[in-house]
Amino acid sequence: MRLLRAAWLLALALASAFITRGSLDYFGADLPAFVVEKLPLPWEQAWLGALKVHVVAAAFALPGCLVLTSKTVLASAPRVHRWAGRATAAVVLLALVPSGSYLALFAKGGVLSTVGFLISGAIVAAAMVQAVREVRARRFAAHRRLVLHVLAQLSVAVTSRAMLFGFDAIAFDPERAYLISLWLPVAASALAVELVCWRNHALPSRLSRLPARFSSASFSDP
């Protein structure tokens, strides 16, 4: 389980760097093809500005959440963890979610895509706000669960792209592929966090109800 978790976090870190590298085209003289396809737009400069803000915020937010979920950083450099949390929360709440919500109004796929992006953004914002409240109240288990929800929704940018690549490889209907690649990761990511947190909470509870001879035997060397 630990190896799988480490592999997943490493994959997210590498994918985040790859996406950030590809997003540099948004700041060049020539706009990427997907941007040109959307033009003309009402308040075009506002949309382009929101896109650039979102790209920069995302480039910081996903790596920031990876730092926050690192037990090594928390144990060896708690001050780094605290400042990373404050900076990530500010970026998410003041830049990432507002810009993403505006971009969602013009999302490919129409209303269903807009609703999907807005729901994901709402989960991120609500989880981040509550995570700050929980850590201030020193409820660290709840704080960690909420940060995982933020990370899970931010990871949708990675899993969605991977799914779109797969759908394109099998020549699946592009419109359906786009909606599936949005809604499935959003829902699955939220569910996965709850299942992981439930498992982590339920396992110690179940072990504590076992007779001492059974619980000790379960973890004894063969």
Residue 215: inside a domain, yes or no?
no
Domain count for the chain: 1
Asked whether the predicted pLDDT for residue 129 surpasses 80, the reply is yes
Asked whether the predicted pLDDT for residue 130 surpasses 90, the reply is yes
DSSP state of 24: G
Of 1, 24, 11, 22, the closest CA to residue 151 belongs to 11
The model's pLDDT over 166-184, given as tens digits with 9 standing for 90+, comes to: 999 999 999 999 999 999 9
Average pLDDT, the chain: 85
Of 120, 105, 108, the closest CA to residue 164 belongs to 108
Residue 216: inside a domain, yes or no?
no
The model's pLDDT over 43-101, given as tens digits with 9 standing for 90+, comes to: 888 888 999 999 999 999 999 999 888 888 888 999 999 999 999 999 999 999 999 99
Residue 218: inside a domain, yes or no?
no
Residue 148: inside a domain, yes or no?
yes
Residue 219: inside a domain, yes or no?
no
Asked whether the predicted pLDDT for residue 163 surpasses 80, the reply is yes
| Burial state string for 7-24 with b = 16 or more CB within 10 A and e = fewer than 16 | eebeebeebbeebbeebe
Q: Are 143 and 64 in contact (CB under 8 A)?
A: no
Residue 211: inside a domain, yes or no?
no
Q: H or E stretch including 2? A: helix 2-23
Q: Are 52 and 35 in contact (CB under 8 A)?
A: no
181: containing domain:
2-202
The model's pLDDT over 13-52, given as tens digits with 9 standing for 90+, comes to: 888 888 888 777 777 767 667 676 777 777 888 888 999 9
Residue 114: inside a domain, yes or no?
yes
Asked whether the predicted pLDDT for residue 151 surpasses 90, the reply is yes
- Hey, what are 41's tokens? 């737009």
Look at residue 213 in the predicted model and tell me its pLDDT: 46
Asked whether the predicted pLDDT for residue 187 surpasses 80, the reply is yes
Residue 209: inside a domain, yes or no?
no
